[in-house]
Amino acid sequence: MFKNLKTRTKLFVVFSFTVVLTIAAVGRLVYQTAKDNLYKQTVNYLNFLSETAKTGVVSFLEGAKQRAVDFSSDGFIRTSLKQIMQGDQKAILDLSAHLRDNKQSLDPSIYNINVVDLNGKVVASVAADEIGTSLLEYEEKDYILQAQKLSYGRAVLSDVIKLGRLKDKISIAAFAPLTDKDTGEILGVIINYIQAASLSDFISSFRDSSIAGVYLVDSKNLMITEPLDFQKHLALRQIVDNKLTRDCKIRTSGSVAYQNYKGVEVFGVSACLNNGWTLIAEASVAESLKGALDIRRIAGYAALLIFLEIMFLIYFIFRDILKQKEVEQMKTDFISFASHQLRTPLTIIKWNTEMLINGDAGELTPDQKQRMFKIELGEKRMACLINSLLNISRLESNRLKIEPKPTDVLLLISSTISELVPYANAKNCHIKFNKPSRQLPLINLDPVLLKQVILNLLGNSINYSKPKKSLVEVTLKQVGRYFQIDVADDGIGIPAAAQNKIFQKFFRADNATKADANGIGLGLYITKLIVETSGGKIWFESAEEKGAKFHIVMPISGMSKKSGGKEFSK
């Protein structure tokens, strides 16, 4: 049948088929690329999330053990237990009151404290009805026997357990031996009972709208914390048996796509704890790949429209209906897909980094410490960038709080220089301060803002000084109704081609980038905004390899107060 078609029709069919295949192939490629990128981003985020949560969980558990150790060192508790063993009934009441008033109050997550003798009998307790109970008949038995074998200053932590005698209260218990202060003999065990909901509350902080769940599974594959709502009573009831929990049995963390315990298709990542627990972070496949599906749908609609338009044009061209008619060039709408930006609370990174560096989670090797210092440096750089962006936003939107007060500008410059002297010395750079011939009056300005201007200019001069011994000169003088600050250096200078862009946001000259790769190009932009917001002016002279000299003039009348805004982030 194709042979019988006219040549014009054959060309039309072949061209149409080629267009359809091309559009389909491009659409498929765009969809697959977006899908792969979203999968990688999701898994990377879940890996970071699980490791961060794991660090927090380990810290939580170690803190619970340490609290029990601290309590076991209490001389009053040890002496009272010895008196109770000698038959002193009053000591029971005194010790129980001490546990309630002086120990339980230290940690709101502890809902009960028991002191047991070597036979496992509760001899003192925050809960009066526990006194006299033999815990060797309950869930605590094995842990009590373990604690009795420990040396002073150590503790053992239970799995998450369900206490039948306490209305199935789900708890974590920390056990520490109590010893005689004189002989070191084991007298008994102190037990702190912690609400498992406290751990669940901590875990629940590691989720957002795109995360299906972050939860813990114990060594028996029983869920310890429920990912979305701890009140759903799945703890110690829901079995979670998947590749992630099985891999943790052989101490292997991993990632996989699977159907979770709710029947939802998810991407999952695990982090294995030393006590046999598995921490699982999950993200819904549908939610994670929603962007890629949207792209495929939009690409399909766009392809259909493009195809119809092309066919429409080809039809009329082949029919010779439209002759020599100018066809306006179609403008293509570029559809940009902004992937979900994943942000990590810097406070969590900072807290965990400081904890690890300080050895709260165990002593680090020198190499590990060095790596943690690099992480800490990266966190500080990120915080600096965020603060810079916040300050720019406040300055540009006129929402920055300005609090002028009488300020000695000379003293402010001197103190700022003193702060930078160690850094300047490290760069083999000398700072010289040329003071005014006559004393300037106190000027009503915001010292935080002016100090930031001086820090930015001095910091640049030091950063971009030459390796040999260099000089930075700061000059303060009064010029009529203004005071002027000059900062001059003999560093790498500013190339002529870059000088008209030097105050632009995120701009850095090529020679500056080579000299210091860590800059972000916001310092001079912020400086200009502060100076101009304060009614002043800033300008400079420079030549490449011949240094730079920046000038600032600001009115002696000072800055105008602005209330109700946000403070400058340092």
Whether pLDDT at 228 is above 60? no
Spatial contact of 429 and 470, defined as CB atoms under 8 Å apart: yes
pLDDT digit string, tens, across residues 280-290: 888 887 777 77
- pLDDT value at position 323? 46
pLDDT digit string, tens, across residues 170-201: 888 999 999 998 888 999 999 999 988 777 77
pLDDT digit string, tens, across residues 2-12: 455 555 555 65
Rounded to two decimals, the pTM is: 0.46
Pick 14 or 429 by higher pLDDT. Answer: 429
Lowest mean pLDDT among 62-66, 295-299, 416-420: 295-299
- pLDDT value at position 316? 56
Block residue for tokens 């915001």: 446
Measured distance CA(474)–CA(472) in Å, rounded: 7
Q: Please give the average per-residue pLDDT across 291-315, as a whole number.
A: 60
Q: What DSSP assignment string belongs to 28-65?
A: HHHHHHHHHHHHHHHHHHHHHHHHHHHHHHHHHHHHHH
Percentage, residues of the chain above pLDDT 70: 71
Average pLDDT, the chain: 79
Lowest mean pLDDT among 26-30, 112-116, 417-421: 26-30
Whether pLDDT at 379 is above 90? no
Pick 564 or 36 by higher pLDDT. Answer: 36
Nearest to 490 by CA among 507, 511, 512, 468: 468
- pLDDT value at position 325? 40
Q: What DSSP assignment string belongs to 148-190?
A: HTSPTT--EE--SEEEGGGTTEEEEEEEEEEE-TTT--EEEEE
Pick 300 or 62 by higher pLDDT. Answer: 62
- pLDDT value at position 304? 63
pLDDT digit string, tens, across residues 439-454: 899 999 988 889 889 9
